Structure 1
């Protein structure tokens, strides 16, 4: 995944870049709107992050320019302007999401993943009714789950959690990300409901089968992965 960051504050741009690179994203930086527009028009980016206050033209104008030649690329706006009217201006300019400085890097990463996954779904990835990983299979139309052709009974929330893991195999999913996508809320560090549900589906999906697919990465999250 290649992300363009258009931010004139070099310190902020470097912090964002380091945070994204730690998540295995490739990042290209631009420190003004004119160069940012040139890169956006010539590069193949998965998502663009734009500060509103930029040299050359403001981020709102830049977003409109990008939207004129690429109507589908996800855009996140970063700004110190947090009033409702400012956010509305950002969305009207073509932004898909809007974050107010200062922000937490982990929240930005969750929002990036949400927008990229949404784009993939719109482009036809995972739009079929079936998802498969190893000998595990989900049919999203009939809401059935099978492993090695043996049907597994899941509750609606367990199904949604396993479905999200199968949409993102071989990747560590943090509790914050799972909370955002499966429960549509920010993770409350005072509860362990995600761990409880992971254990629920682990007992149903892994317990009676030889190869374990659901793995815990201590201090990081969970992963759907075949044993090496």
Structure 2
């Protein structure tokens, strides 16, 4: 099996060299582009499956990482589902939340330890296995909602609803545990392989984005329901 290839979009050449060396020692191949447009072109020209993940800096010379993420999520499959780990030197939590809302799967503040980067990257790449413990590709149906694990596709009334890789895995976790209340801590552990930091809002942000994609009225959700003080529950019976 060939080593997974990761694309880094960052204009810091010293950081890129450090990341390339460390990842190569741990079974990865790193490709590097220093600006957003060149990175998007590299992805668009690659064969399907060439890249396993994207490491994306928030601050780039031609466009910010948020715009890169926005454009990536508008590309056809399988590119739009590429896992994205956003790197940010800015300390404002709002930047991280906005990044998640635009389709990033996780974020890592700079400066970071290479071991933490590796751990976050491995967590992103193993998420489908965690999210699908039964390894069952059977289509899951809840009213007009269809979840196809094999094709990693979601449809409502036969129309595809685009989701990021993280959002799809979260929906699969919910669907496979329909009717059970899932705490934020449990979701974080299953999807990210660890415990959330205090005040980490990433799970809530992803739930909000997932609701926007699959609910008729995200402000009054009928599929993913909040259980105050406990977490979320995915409705077993769905009319819509």
- What's the TM-score, normalizing by structure 2? 0.51
The alignment status of 1:127 with 2:130, answered yes or no, reads: no
SS in 2 for 1:50: strand
2:129/2:135 contact within 8 Å kept = no
2: CA distance, partners of 1:2 / 1:183: 21
Runs of 4+ in 1 over 3 A off after TM superposition: 119-122, 180-183
CA apart distance, 1:128:
4.4
RMSD of equivalent CA atoms:
2.6
Aligned with residue 71 of structure 2, among 60, 65, 72:
65
- Mapped to 1, the partners of 2:45 and 2:96 lie a distance apart of 28
The CA deviation string for residues 110-167 of structure 1, in whole angstroms up to 9 with x for no partner, is 1101110114566x797149xxxxxxxxxxxxxxxxxxxxxxxxxxxxxxxxxxxxxx
2:110 counterpart of 1:101:
yes
Q: Does 1:46 align with 2:52?
A: yes
Q: Gaps (5+ residues) in structure 1?
A: 130-179, 187-228
Which structure is higher in RCO with an 8 Å CA cutoff and minimum separation 6?
A: 2
Task: Report what 1:75 is aligned to.
Answer: 84
Shift of 1:52: 0.9
**CA distance, structure 1, for counterparts of residue 115 and residue 45 of structure 2:** 29
Structure 1 residue 42: Cα displacement: 2.0
Give me the whole-angstrom Cα distance separating, in 2, the residues matched to 1:48 and 1:103. 17
Q: Give the number of aligned pairs.
A: 135
Question: Judging changes above 3 Å, is the alpha-carbon distance between structure 1 residues 119 and 29 closer, same or farther for their aligned structure 2 residues?
Answer: farther
Larger Rg: 1
TM-score, length basis structure 1: 0.54
1:16 and 1:4 map into 2 onto residues whose CA distance is 11
Aligned with 1:34 (options 32, 37, 49): 37
**Structure 2: stretches of 5+ with no match in the other structure:** 138-188, 197-240
Instruction: Give the match's secondary structure for 2:73.
Output: helix
